[in-house]
Structure 1
């Protein structure tokens, strides 16, 4: 489809990048290849886009992602002149339909690799609180039956149980269970007749479960899929006026972004979470400030990193006794943030000390976190040249590893193999390597 007018919006963004037309096409091809659909656009194609020729859907998506990465901010298709997107989000009925489609694909083993292939995007449009709050229109379509608070309690209890399984064993097996529960139980609840108070409570419970399911997708390395679950969590949190889950989800999206190395995007999300929660209690404030500190450190903002870290420490001192709800922020979490800030700012030894303190404070149920962070400690010990100390720490991580089904845990073991191989002449390193081979899945063992 050809427009009579040049795409001035796209041309403005293109000029902002400083690219040549050839570079523009090459960057779009790179994104397309990452997504499993290689393209061979060249300079004439880029010239046509700017001249008003409307690219295909997949090309438009790749174009805005390429621009977003280069410019360091989310670029929407509307901003790139491709569509007149309606502002805000759909009513809750659209949210439920989207959730069913997402969960159905995720719970289908034959589709899971396809869904998991979706990639993290900094071009994602994240709805503001005012765009989602109170949107409850259409929720009663298809009134299957009337639900009550006992059904809400069922969803809450199931979410807590899945969270416990995730903490102990990783998300690889728990996430399909959560997806099936979302599709087969929660979605019908969301469509059912209910009083306003029950309906809000059910949407809030569903939002918590979507957030947890997205978190488990992050654990598996399915970052695009995780973002989709997080967006559903935001929509449901707004529909139920659940400020806590809305802010928690934004903060979770920031964690995902900073772990992927997208510091500026992580900073924006962390700031958005803090801005959306002006009346936060001390534990929530610590929860949010800790993430702001980590994101600030990653972008090299030392002053704000230390300021936010101090704010988190003060807020934690004021916090009440630890909540049992999943996702709660505790002294172990705070010390993890201290470690990450120190590491980003170049203090490797200090980061190790903080991670060791975090490890000593962590509840025993958090097996996956214990394994991952001990492996991280070992990597940093080796970086300082403490080989034998690192081998001892890695061995403690291997104690938990066989019990965990987690993509992030697998990544830490793969990294261990990579960095320990130059040291195999050392007896402790050789013993560690051979022990790891006995507990590592065959497809992860280097040959």
Structure 2
């Protein structure tokens, strides 16, 4: 059954201009009007979704107004189209086309660059997350992504984007993402540099690599937003990254992004939805390299653990361990090189603790801290997990000792996730605050102001 029209203003303009039953004709005229922006491929389906709430980018809206003005014989302002203000992104929808993804990218990067989301990020939408997973997994691949636009894009240009992504990833791991300034700077770069590249001139091969690089940057910005507690912003960027990986024909990085979305769902308590997201990621990754499979199965274990599925959790951990043992022979893409035995041990701590298997969980504690120096935030997160596991097991002295170490490891880290784990630990220990040792620990923990 067709969805009801929600943009009556746009529908009225189409009817007045004679396009009421000729959506394909309007799309063809629109593509012609926007030819200077590149090879647009809007069609009747695009018009269908615009009528039902999907918001095109500002360049597309300008071309729409021009097309309608020509038919109506009068000026048409973009504000008459009924799409709302530029800072209103609406629901987190998986873009139907590459052009839609480019429009969406421009919208959300502009919003974040202007810091319009800093006071109210919104909430994580598990239903939209599952829709994005289905779109990424089952939509047909894009036949071509080449464009003809204003700016020539070369392979060298694209490689510079990967170098920038590495820089932001390193900053994130060392210091956390709590400060909005880094994210705003990154979004501003994406808006001013990457968005024009996406609308530029490139071959199909360069275009797919460009989509992959843009997905990498969007995925990094998503993870930084998640770490800062900006969950709706993070979901927008993961959804965008998924669509860009589809255009890049890179199923492995798409599976990685979907696993990140599942990790976010676990953090927010959406265990059931997280299992479905990571199962889609594993299914979509197919015969992936061992390092990628290790990461995906570790994420699956945390989702199953939170959902109380003990057998599925332990099976996922076993699969992750076996895959990690094969990584020397099958290392996989460069971006998955971060995933180490310490990261798997952290996942085991989390999921076995959720299943109340505290003794088993704590066997992974030494390995969980065997991290490289730059993984400062992960060290703090794993230290908090160890302290929490001891606390839940009723081992107060050990929990206090590890909590003091958390206070040391968390110095200089700005992370809503670290704050949240510190808050959970403080709540668990607060029932025994009459103890001088517990009181000392509570004073040493990182600030526990509410995460946004």
**How far apart, CA to CA, are the structure 1 residues paired with 2:244 and 2:128?**
21
Aligned length: 356
Matched, 1:148 2:154: yes
Matched, 1:164 2:188: no
Partner of 2:96: 90
**How far apart, CA to CA, are the structure 2 residues paired with 1:185 and 1:233?**
17
**How far apart, CA to CA, are the structure 2 residues paired with 1:314 and 1:170?**
30
**How far apart, CA to CA, are the structure 2 residues paired with 1:313 and 1:170?**
27
- Structure 2, gaps ≥5 residues long: 5-51, 54-92
Matched, 1:175 2:183: yes
CA deviation after TM superposition for structure 1 residue 426, in Å: 2.5
The residue correspondences of 1:101-116 to structure 2 (distance < 5 A) are: 101-114=107-120, 116=121
| 2:144–2:204 CA contact under 8 A, matched in 1 | no
The residue correspondences of 1:36-435 to structure 2 (distance < 5 A) are: 89-114=95-120, 116-124=121-129, 125-126=131-132, 127-131=135-139, 133-134=141-142, 136=144, 140=147, 143-173=149-179, 174-320=182-328, 325=335, 328-359=338-369, 361-435=370-444
- Structure 1, gaps ≥5 residues long: 5-55, 58-86
| 1:88–1:132 CA contact under 8 A, matched in 2 | no
CA deviation after TM superposition for structure 1 residue 326, in Å: 5.8
CA deviation after TM superposition for structure 1 residue 357, in Å: 2.0
| 1:254–1:267 CA contact under 8 A, matched in 2 | yes
Question: Once the two structures are superposed, what CA deviation does each residue of 1:131-161 show, in whole Å capped at 9, x if it has no partner?
Answer: 2632655x636x2311212211111011011
**1:121–1:355 Cα change, 3 Å:** same
Q: TM-score, normalised by structure 2?
A: 0.72
**1:302–1:417 Cα change, 3 Å:** closer
| 1:356–1:377 CA contact under 8 A, matched in 2 | no
**How far apart, CA to CA, are the structure 1 residues paired with 2:438 and 2:98?**
55
CA deviation after TM superposition for structure 1 residue 247, in Å: 0.9
Matched, 1:440 2:447: yes
**How far apart, CA to CA, are the structure 1 residues paired with 2:245 and 2:307?**
29
**1:212–1:409 Cα change, 3 Å:** same
**How far apart, CA to CA, are the structure 1 residues paired with 2:236 and 2:269?**
19
| 1:160–1:325 CA contact under 8 A, matched in 2 | no
**How far apart, CA to CA, are the structure 2 residues paired with 1:261 and 1:211?**
21
Question: Once the two structures are superposed, what CA deviation does each residue of 1:282-306 show, in whole Å capped at 9, x if it has no partner?
Answer: 1112122222233233333322222
Question: Once the two structures are superposed, what CA deviation does each residue of 1:183-224 show, in whole Å capped at 9, x if it has no partner?
Answer: 111111111112222111111011111111111121122222
**How far apart, CA to CA, are the structure 2 residues paired with 1:88 and 1:117?**
17
| 1:163–1:326 CA contact under 8 A, matched in 2 | no
**How far apart, CA to CA, are the structure 2 residues paired with 1:207 and 1:299?**
30
Q: TM-score, normalised by structure 1?
A: 0.73
CA deviation after TM superposition for structure 1 residue 236, in Å: 0.4
CA deviation after TM superposition for structure 1 residue 327, in Å: 6.7
CA deviation after TM superposition for structure 1 residue 93, in Å: 2.1
CA deviation after TM superposition for structure 1 residue 331, in Å: 0.8
Runs of 4+ in structure 1 over 4 Å off:
321-324
CA deviation after TM superposition for structure 1 residue 418, in Å: 2.7
SS in 2 for 1:172: coil
**How far apart, CA to CA, are the structure 2 residues paired with 1:121 and 1:131?**
19
SS in 2 for 1:440: coil
| 2:198–2:210 CA contact under 8 A, matched in 1 | yes
**How far apart, CA to CA, are the structure 2 residues paired with 1:214 and 1:243?**
18
**How far apart, CA to CA, are the structure 1 residues paired with 2:264 and 2:443?**
33
CA deviation after TM superposition for structure 1 residue 228, in Å: 1.1
SS in 1 for 2:285: coil
